[in-house]
Structure formats: C-alpha cells, structure tokens
Amino acid sequence: MHSRDQTIFALSSGRPPSAIAMVRVSGTQAGAALRALAGRIPPPRRATRVVLRDGQGEPIDEAVVLWFPEPASATGEDVAEFHVHGGRAVLAALAAALSALEQMRAAEPGEFTRRAFENGKLDLTEAEGLDDLIHADTDRQRRRALRQLKGMLGDKARDWRARIIEASAWIEAGIDFSDEGDVSDELLAPTRAQIVALLGEIQEVLAAQGKAERLRDGLVVAITGPPNVGKSTLINQLARRQVAIVSPYAGTTRDVIEVQLDLDGYPVTVIDTAGIRETDDPVEQEGVRRARARAEEADLVLWLIDTPAANHGYDAGTPRWILRNKIDLDSQSVAARCPATGVPDAMESTAANRGEVGTTLFEISAARGDGIQALISALVIFAQDFFGQGEGGFITRARQRSLLEQTAASLQRCISMFDQGEEFAAEDLRAAAYALGRLLGRVDVEDILDVIFRDFCIGK
C-alpha cells in the first residue's frame, strides 16, 4: 500500500504534559479507529464523551471524540479527533492502541497539511501561510501569515490565471478565424488590452514589495567593533537578559552569539560578534573571521567604539551606525547632545535609514542604559523602512516572487509578439498560466513539495 493510502495519526497539540491533548487521525481507517477505541462513531462534528479502550479492553482515558467524514474535513479525508488528558502515559497508551490497528501509522511532519493540499482544501500559497503562522514569533508576522492563509495571494493568482486562460481562448479563436481579418482584429484588440492591464497589476505587486518577504526571517543586526568596547553588554541590554559573557578581558567572545528580538512587531536578530583586531590566537582569529563574515551578511551594522577617536575600521557596504559606548565614564551625556530624546538629528537618522555608511552617531552607556531606548526607537524606524509594505504585501517567499516575475516576463513577451504572430503570443500566455499554476501548486510542483512540507511540525 502506498504511504498516501495509509491512515495517519499524530499528536496535534503541544508537548506533554498538558491539561488536554488532541490526537488527530486522517484516512480511510479513521472511522474504524473510533469504533475500535471509542466503541462507536459519534454524529458528525459533535463532541461526544467516551471511555477509550485498547485492544484488550483496558481503559485508556475518559475522552471527548469528534468525527469529520470526508470531504468536509480539514484534510478532505475522514478525520477523527481524540481529546484526552495530556499526560505522557495517556498519550503513549493511545499511540500504542492506534499503532496496533491495521493500515495505521504515525504521521510525518506536515503530512496532514500536505493531504489537505492534495485534496484541494488549500493551495500552496495558503499552505505556506499556514507554515508561516505556525512559526510566527511576532504580531506582524502572525497577521501577515493569517492573511496569506486566508488566500491573500492565492485569490489574486487564481483570478490572474483565469483571465490569462480567457485571453488564450480569444487568441486561439483569432487564429482559427485568421482568414476573416475583421473578426481576428475584433478579438485580438481587446485581448491585448486585457493582457497589458493584467501585466500592470502583477508589476505593481512586484514593485510594491521591496524586501517584504524578508518579514518571515526578520532583520539581521550585527554588533561589531574592537575588543572590549561593550558589545556583549549591549546585546544583554537589548535582550534584557544575560545572553553573552561580559568580561573586562579582550577576546572573551570567540564565536557569534544571536538573540531574537520583537521590536514593535518586527522580528530582529541581533548578533554579538568577536572583537575585530589583529591576534595570534588561532581560536580568536576564527572568531574575528566569523565576525567579519556575519557583519557583511547583516542588514545593519552597529559599530561600537568607546572613545571619540577610536578606529572605525569597517568598510563593507552594509549600512552602519556608529555607537560610542561608556559615556558614563566621561563628562559628556546623551542628554547634553540631544536633550529631548538622545536620538541623532533628523538629517542623520534619515541618512542612516537610506543606508549611508557612517552617518549616525549614538552615544550610549550599555552598562547603565543611557541612550538605549533611543537606539531601540531608531531600530524600529529602520525596520519600518526596511520592510516597507512587509505586513500588507502579497509576496511572502522568494519562490512566490520568482514565479510572479516569470509570469510578468511571459506576459511582456506575449505583448511584444502580437505583431509577429498570434501563435507566438499564445505560447507566451501558456507559459504565464503555467507559472501561476506552479505558484498555486496545481501543476508540476512535486519537486518542491517535500522541501516545503518538511518544515512543518508533526501533527500539522
């Protein structure tokens, strides 16, 4: 029997122990599982209290079960749900009882969602939205993923594809009536206008996105600079907990330390790197190499110094803000520089957000907390500019952007081919429809399904 024909089960709630746990079963034997363990199949979509028993008639737990006959279920197959007490022993006994049934096996990661996709319950963009919702760490990520799950991009793509197919039909009709010139012109003129309008809509979506799909992964900010200037103290201050070792000795941080932050709903990964300096220590040399590499890959570099005359020895193209730390040790203060907020003036902040290297100077005390709130506020503004319409945009993944770009390119070629022959234009329209079909997961996507669904958790 093919694995897709087998009935699957998995814990679909949080890790035990918990007050209540839900085990989901999907497949042709879901009803048989209910009869075997609960003694009967309850009315559809009605919570029913039962005593679950194993194959020897021994009670497993008092539970609530639900029955969702196909096709009106989450996966499009027969689905049974067992809501039990969330102790490890209860779940182990339930799993053993289910495993003992014929044609029943534990589910693989993402298998429930993959079956829902294969049974037409959701398209691939919606499945990706569900994955994003599961992994959302911030409120902006959650809202964006929920809109994708509800068909934000999928609905548009289906509409675009239907209009392309309609245009293809009119072009084919024009080819069939090519010997009647007036008929052909009457068909092709409005069709060409429709394709031009459709291309404009797709290009507008692509142009408005900017780096919107990066909202899934978040902004990467690297804290770097010479040794012993307070980089680890700063990351601990931003994280509001001890994530890095703080020591008065240079070279304490040997590897890259990362911490995930939620800044006004924007996901931000802050990296504490080894102090950049010349050294004979091979371990520290490797730390410096990694620090330089991560700084070059970051979206923003916070170059930390502790004296005004310190070397700003960083010349990569990544946007950089210069932070002078340890102001509590001298006579200057953030308030003296900017009494209202401690934030650099508007011109400097704007230049920094544009990515101009070395234009912003924050004066802070990572140890005491001076200027930290102003720095965080500036980071939020940078994130807003960086993500652009990240929350409201349609594209959430590079795969989606690539296929929309292919669609737009095919439509552009189609428009240019009208004067050279309707047959060429028709072929480019087919290519555009094919790209949108791949976007929705309805044609030729077997090669990417494993990659997408393997990131799902088991039971989803």
| Average pLDDT per block of 10 residues along the chain, 460 residues long | 80 91 96 96 96 94 96 95 96 96 93 93 90 85 86 91 88 64 64 92 82 78 84 85 50 63 88 60 58 74 78 63 86 42 39 45 88 92 79 78 94 86 84 93 72 74
Q: Can you tell me the distance from the alpha carbon of 271 to that of 455, in angstroms, rounded to the nearest whole number?
A: 24
Q: Can you tell me the distance from the alpha carbon of 252 to that of 338, in angstroms, rounded to the nearest whole number?
A: 33
Report the pLDDT value the prediction gives residue 352, as an integer from 0 to 100. 43
Residue 162, token pair as written in the block? 């239907």
Q: Can you tell me the distance from the alpha carbon of 29 to that of 7, in angstroms, rounded to the nearest whole number?
A: 6
Report the pLDDT value the prediction gives residue 312, as an integer from 0 to 100. 53
Answer yes or no: are the C-beta atoms of 125 and 87 closer than 8 Å.
Answer: no
Q: Can you tell me the distance from the alpha carbon of 285 to that of 228, in angstroms, rounded to the nearest whole number?
A: 16
Closest CA to 258 of 214, 221, 301, 216: 221
Q: Can you tell me the distance from the alpha carbon of 245 to that of 285, in angstroms, rounded to the nearest whole number?
A: 19
Using the CB atoms, write b or e for 229-265: b if 16+ within 10 Å. Answer: bbbbbbbbbbbeeeebebeeeebbbbebbebebebeb
Residue 362, token pair as written in the block? 């924050």
CA geometry: angle 390, 137, 320, nearest 5 deg: 60
Using the CB atoms, write b or e for 175-202: b if 16+ within 10 Å. Answer: beeeeeeeebeebbeebbeebeebbeeb
Report the pLDDT value the prediction gives residue 1, as an integer from 0 to 100. 52
Strands (E), 200-285: 219-224, 257-263, 266-272
- Between helix 181-209 and helix 422-440 the angle, nearest 10°, is 40
3 state DSSP class of 284: helix
Task: Provide CB contacts within 8 A for 33, sequence distance 6+.
Answer: 7, 9, 25, 80, 98, 101, 104
Residue 415, burial from CB neighbour count under 10 angstroms (0-12, 13-18, 19+): middle
The strand pairing partners of 370, in sequence order, are: 365
Residue 301, token pair as written in the block? 């570099």
Report the pLDDT value the prediction gives residue 112, as an integer from 0 to 100. 94
Closest CA to 439 of 392, 409, 390, 398: 398
Residue 209, token pair as written in the block? 């996105």
- Between helix 152-176 and helix 124-134 the angle, nearest 10°, is 170
The string of DSSP codes covering 98-164 is HHTSTTEEEPPTTHHHHHHHHTTSS-HHHHHHHHHHHT--SHHHHHHHHHHHTTHHHHHHHHHHHHH
Report the pLDDT value the prediction gives residue 450, as an integer from 0 to 100. 72
Q: Can you tell me the distance from the alpha carbon of 214 to that of 266, in angstroms, rounded to the nearest whole number?
A: 11
Q: Can you tell me the distance from the alpha carbon of 151 to that of 142, in angstroms, rounded to the nearest whole number?
A: 15
Specify the pTM: 0.70
Report the pLDDT value the prediction gives residue 424, as an integer from 0 to 100. 82
| CA distances, 114 to each of 11, 40, 241 (Å) | 16, 28, 39
Task: Provide CB contacts within 8 A for 206, sequence distance 6+.
Answer: 395, 401, 404, 405, 408
Report the pLDDT value the prediction gives residue 340, as an integer from 0 to 100. 33
Task: Provide CB contacts within 8 A for 342, sequence distance 6+.
Answer: 334, 335, 362, 363, 370, 371, 373, 374
Q: What is the phi/psi pair of residue 98, to 5°?
A: -70, -40
- Total Cβ atoms within 10 A of residue 373: 13
DSSP state of 327: G
